[in-house]
Amino acid sequence: MGTRVQGAVHSDKTLSGVSGLLEDLRRLLEDKDSADIVFLLGRDESPVYAHRLLLAARCTAFQGIKRGEICRIPGATVAAGTGGAPATVRLPHYSESNFRIFLVYVYTGKLVLQDSGVFEMMGLAHELGLEELRVSCEEHVTSTLAVVNACTFLAAAFEMYERSAPHGGRSAKTFLDKCISFIAENALDCFKTNSFLSLSKDALVKVISSDYLAVEEEEVFRAALAWAKHKAGVTQPTAHWAEEEKARVCQHLSGVISHVRLLLIDSQVFAEEVEPTGAVPIELSLERYRLAALPKKYSEQSDDKRCQPRMSCTLFPGSQILNLASPNSFGDDKSSYQRILNEWYGNPKQQWRLVFRASAHNFSAQAFHRLCDGISPTYTIVAVSLRLKGK
């Protein structure tokens, strides 16, 4: 008779060789002599060697290909090897360091994700077809996104989006938008981080162009000024700048200041903090003072974005109709609807509380009256489909 073995013990014995197998696969990854494919990474075309058989077992970009094909990777330049030389795949929009981490995961399943490289890793997983790795990257971003790393994530996502945009880049675009939305809702805290000061000019413009920054316009200007001073290496207050320091700061603010809605800044702040920097064109300064003198005239120019206060997504929390990220909402820009509702109410910064959602209460009239009667003021918001159907 055989001896009954406990399931856990049996399982451990069947896996006893796994650690050795993983070590062998790691050594195989480092063996250039047996490699039959070489990836040339980045503009410097740094070579990284690999084995097509393992790539075909793990990555869909190497599966289901026609005879004579090597792989199907967006943006890659592929050449078959001749005379026993390995096949060549050029990936100019990926770095050598992150690609090596990617291959370690392909060969061994081991992964070390870093905030600065997670979006590039996500792009590799998407384009080479390794779904489990892509999901791990998404979970890493979603679970760790916070004030302290939001701008680090943004910088990485923006860099990845810039490199992958010519080849699609939808995955990077999705998380670029996610980072910007998070920073917008936590703007004041994110503006104080060192990683915010280290953003590229293009990434900074993405942030301060958002309609959903949850801060007053004065704080947007102060954040842009702090960023420019950091880039220019200027630490003194504006009043103590030398002409050369002012020139450096203004150079960095060029192309940035136009995205700050200067016409909305308080007159005293504008005179004491904005104008002394020398970064605002004289024409805009004159327009700002005309606005202060004739506010009603400018309030009629509702189509002028410079006169439109930014709208925080938290003004209507819980709304699936007005929420920018809701798949059930219509259109892309919900700021106009939020703005109109608050203009009707008379306070552009008014925040509201969701008390009733019809779909969550089986569209019950009784539930509507039970939850809403006696509460004032209220808005009842209904989404109406405007699609036309004809025979």
Q: Which domains does the chain have, with CATH numbers?
A: 28-108 (3.30.710.10), 216-310 (no CATH), 313-372 (no CATH)
- Region of residue 17 (phi > 0: left; psi between -120 and 50: alpha; otherwise: beta): alpha
By CB neighbour count within 10 A (0-12 exposed, 13-18 middle, 19+ buried), where does 69 fall? exposed
pLDDT at residue 96, as a whole number: 93
pLDDT at residue 2, as a whole number: 35
Give the number of other Cβ atoms within 10 Å of residue 45's Cβ: 14
Cα-flanking dihedrals φ and ψ of residue 108, to 5°?
-120, -15
Report the chain's terminal Cα–Cα distance, integer Å. Answer: 77
DSSP secondary structure string, 296-337? HHHHT-TT-GGGSPP--GGGSTT-TTT-TT-TTS-SS--HHH
pLDDT at residue 88, as a whole number: 92
pLDDT at residue 302, as a whole number: 58
Q: Do residues 95 and 120 make contact, with C-beta atoms less than 8 angstroms apart? A: yes
pLDDT, tens digit (0-9, with 9 covering 90-100), for 29-49? 888 899 999 999 988 999 999
Residues lower than pLDDT 70 in the chain = 1-13, 164-171, 294-303, 312-314, 317-318, 320, 323-336, 385-391
Type and span of the H or E element at 204? helix 201-208
- What residue has token string 């709304």? 319
pLDDT at residue 330, as a whole number: 35
pLDDT at residue 236, as a whole number: 94
Give the three-class secondary structure for 71.
coil
